[in-house]
Chains A and B, each alone.
Chain A
Amino acid sequence: MSAAAQPQPAVWARGLTRRFGSFTAVDAIDLDIPPGEVFGFLGANGAGKTTAIRMLCGLLKPSDGEARVAGFRVGAESERLKRRIGYMSQRFSLYGDLSVRENLEFFGGIYGIEGEALGERSDQLLPRLDLVGREEELAASLPLGYQQRLALGCALLHGPAVLFLDEPTGGVDPLARRRFWDLIYEQAAGGVTVFVTTHYMDEAEYCGRVSIMVSGRIVALGSPAELKRESGGGTMQEVFLKVVAP
């Protein structure tokens, strides 16, 4: 690939729209997320978040508008797009009966990373995830914080440009959560764009910028500090409620 003259946004959308029959789930949203940003994508249930994310992950075709993720067009280049993104959800999809190493091998296999390449990448990731010495342990027997880091490792194995996180730290203790986010920031500093969806405002506080979606549209966008200032002070929770249910 040739080097771009100017840095392309990692996630870019113009008028991205999805209709189901007469219902417009996502209504002409625009996104400009530069490489290395940690971006929070918030909204109440039914606001259209899931539909938007499914489009950005190449799982659902837009009805209108256009979007690019990691340089690939949503819709036309969805298959190539999928190879450049990683996905991790709160109830992460680890195989409990497989060991740490076997989980990595399994997810490596899905992305076509095997043999030497897999070994190299694992050697690189395991110390960062604090999993050295636990390679042969079953995933299910690991403490929750470790499971979470392993799930992150599986999502990062193929070196994605954009990482989608869905309530990544629900249910873990605050110390484990801070460590997890330190890892995320490390990835972001290395150029990975992190796209976070969550219902929990204390997770939103970890994002550099946050958007809030209501009825298919993005109605608020800014850093947590900016949004709080605009809203006249208060917590992220208060900001969110003002925007969503004024």
Chain B
Amino acid sequence: MKNIGRSLKWSGLLVTTGLIVQLLCLLRIHPMSFIAFLGIGCPLVAAGVGLYLFSILSQTEL
């Protein structure tokens, strides 16, 4: 349970950071915002979601 707790913590932090970056990218209409959205925001959210999925799948007993 300790491991999944740590995974969920990291997952939550990654998703939160990614979404904050994505929101900041909406403040300006600029190519740099577009690049930051695709290059930083989306990978952070994807990593958080991926980590969450990995953590629940690794805890599932088949």
Are A and B subunits of one complex?
A: no
Q: Could you list which residues of chain B lie within 8 angstroms of chain A, going by C-beta atoms?
A: none
Q: Hey, which bits of chain A sit against chain B, CB under 8 A?
A: none
